[in-house]
Structure 1
Amino acid sequence: MSDNVAHALSGAGGGIVSMALTYPLVSISTRLQVQKKSNSEEAYKNTADAFVKILAKEGPKGLYSGLSSGVVGIAITNGVYYYCYEAVKAAFEKAKGTNVMSTPESMASGAIAGAAVVLATNPIWTINTRLTTRKGDRNKPSEGFFQTALRMLNEEGPMSFYAGVRAALVLVINPIIQYTVFEQLKNTISKKRQLGNFDFFLLGAISKLAATSITYPYIVVKARMQVKSKDEEGYSSIWDGFSKIIANEGVGGLYKGISSKIVQSVLTAAFLFMAKEALFDWAVWVLVLAGARKAKVQVVKA
């Protein structure tokens, strides 16, 4: 068995770790993204204000609304992404006879893997966005993943699970930018010295910072498309979303919640890359014990 499965398993594990550690920032940034009116008393003014108001009204559980679906979503997302990315990467390397990828090859690998992830996981992230942005009450039980999915199916039809899918496909450029920057920096530094866990942490942070800063307006439009109810006026296209947000909220509307999103994205990517590298050898070890792979490599680093 190739390393693709080991990369998928370690990527999924790293994603779960990073998601669990940063989920309150996910909740806050997503709620700020979908907030269209900022002049009411309940509106969130900024990240700190959102944190205080969510805790006051919903308690700590409000910061973790939709966590279970987020963990499942990130595990599947990273598993599919890393499997596809490493498969395409291996094909390029085999064709060239070298293990160093060029920038166009990194981008092509990211594009193929990213598109596969969007088609496989958009329903999960649509439900997660609705769970995350639904304001609840600390004394009342909140609607769960399957309840939300069933209600969406009954009220809005199966296509509601693919709300915002076009914007999500455009956002394939986010991981392309992220992993291209990561791979090129890693290749450059590895020529001079061996990389450690802290190096992977920093490279993950730098690469995600670049990707999130460039693609954030699409993230806002996608989130709003995913939470639109059947009785609410939505956006007919990505461009329509841009136009309406700018007309009603100004250019700043395209960047609502960007501060918490950048912090969350950078920390998530940093923890993800560090955890993935640490978990890769253990994933190989598990596959060897399961008989799915021969013990061809040293499993635990010295």
Structure 2
Amino acid sequence: MSQRDTLVHLFAGGCGGTVGAILTCPLEVVKTRLQSSSVTFYISEVQLNTVNGASVNRVARVSPGPLHCLKIILQKEGPRSLFRGLGPNLVGVAPSRAIYFAAYSTCKERLNHVFAADSTQVHMVSAGAAGFTAITATNPIWLVKTRLQLDARNRGEIRMSAFDCIRKVYRADGLKGFYRGMSASYAGISETVIHFVIYESLNENCLEHKIASTIDEDEESVKEASDFAGLMLAAATSKTCATSIAYPHGEWT
């Protein structure tokens, strides 16, 4: 693979990751809050009647759903809280995705000379190696992002900034504090492996269908739109399957 191809993967991975991070940040905040056992704003009051007629207020904790969590965040913290951690996310997602896709494509190119070209073994090893590389390089950024997303404060209260979070982590644990949860993140490589194995398989089927189709060259714009839709569908399907299978690792991070 030429140096130009590597740069293309770096640029495309970085741009795609940045756009995805901005669009999905509110969902990421809700997911992080739901996964955390330390966030306790899902409290409701239940009024009970005693035998003698007096009423007693009891505080009951209920299991929230995503919509309930979203509603509470908007009510107590405001819309801006749905983008907590976006700064570190944007700082980290571009290099993370760039490193990942560059490592994946490079590893895939070299392993094609070791195993059968574009085989399942090539995709699995390439995805695993790329995930390990990206996680090791960017774990401190994701730790800061998660801490900021878990910083639930009411409207008007001073919110913790990324620099405040960095100082807090460093004072508490030193440099090693920025690598907490990295071993659990390595467990998440399984999701990446499953994702790319399914994606490459679907993508190969799409290419075979494209070759077998009889679209005229005059309909180039239609063909390009069809190719883009096929890639989007393959990526969405493979990511959904991988996340569903490997989701429990997210509770460890």
Please list, as runs of the form range in 1=range in 2, the aligned pairs for 1:48-63 lying within 5 A after superposition.
Answer: 48-63=67-82
Look up the match of 1:112.
Answer: 129
* Offset from partner CA, 1:271-290 (integer Å, 9 cap, x none): xxxxxxxxxxxxxxxxxxxx
Residue of structure 2 equivalent to 1:197? 228
Equivalent residue number for residue 219 of structure 1: 250
Flag the 1:94–1:4 CA change in 2: closer, same or farther, 3 A: farther
Q: TM-score when scaled to structure 2?
A: 0.81
Mapping 1:152-163, distance limit 5 Å? 152-163=169-180
Shift of 1:11: 0.7
Corresponding residue of 2:49: none
Aligned-partner Cα distance in 2 for 1:10–1:137: 38
Distance across 2 between alignment mates of 1:67 and 1:84: 25
Query: Which residue of 2 is the match for residue 101 of structure 1?
Result: 118
Are the structure 2 counterparts of residues 13 and 37 from structure 1 closer, same or farther at C-alpha, using a change threshold of 3 Å?
Answer: closer
Deviation of 1:40 (Å): 3.1
| Deviation readout 1:57-113 (Å, 9 max, x if unpaired) | 1111111111111122211210110010011111123557x8x51001100001110
Amino acid at match of 1:149: I
| Cα deviation code 1:3-25 (max 9, x no counterpart) | 11211110110011111111100
Give the letter for the 2:6 counterpart: N
Q: Which structure: larger Rg? A: 2
The residue matched to 1:193 in structure 2 has which SS?
helix
What one-letter code is carried by the residue in structure 2 that aligns with 1:49? Answer: H
Residue 81, structure 1, aligned to residue 111, structure 2? no
2:148 aligned residue (131, 135, 138): 131
Q: CA deviation at 1:146?
A: 1.8
Separation (CA, whole Å) in 1 of partners of 2:179 and 2:39: 25
- Aligned counterparts of 1:54 and 1:43: Cα–Cα separation in 2: 16
Establish whether residue 180 from structure 1 lines up as the match of residue 182 from structure 2.
no
How far 1:44 moved relative to its partner?
A: 6.3
Where is the strand percentage greater, Structure 1 or Structure 2?
2
Structure-to-structure mapping, 1:19-34, within 5 angstroms? 19-34=21-36
More relative contact order, 1 or 2 (CA 8 Å, 6+ apart): 1
Partner SS, residue 157 of structure 2: coil
The one of 88, 95, 111 equivalent to 1:92 is: 111
Which of these residues, 76, 86, 89, is aligned with residue 67 of structure 1?
Answer: 86
C-alpha distance in structure 1 between counterparts of 2:64 and 2:143, whole Å = 24
DSSP 3-state at the match of 1:17:
helix
Letter in 2 for 1:48: L
Size of the alignment, in residue pairs? 220
> What SS does the corresponding residue of 2:210 show, helix, strand or coil?
coil
Deviations along 1:31-65, whole A, 9 cap, x unmatched?
A: 00013577734876110011110001111111111
Following the alignment from structure 2 to structure 1, what is the Cα–Cα distance between the partners of residues 170 and 114?
45
Report the alpha carbon displacement of residue 145 of structure 1 after superposing the two structures with TM. 1.2
By how many angstroms is 1:137 displaced? Answer: 2.5
User: Which of structure 1's runs of 4+ aligned residues deviate more than 6 A?
Assistant: none
When the two chains are superposed, the root-mean-square deviation of aligned CA atoms in Å is 1.9
Residue 203 of structure 2 aligns to a residue whose secondary structure is helix
Distance 1:2 1:106 in 2: 22
> Runs of 5+ in structure 1 lacking a partner?
223-302
- 8 Å contact kept, 1:66–1:132: yes
Q: 1:40 aligns with which of 28, 40, 43?
A: 43
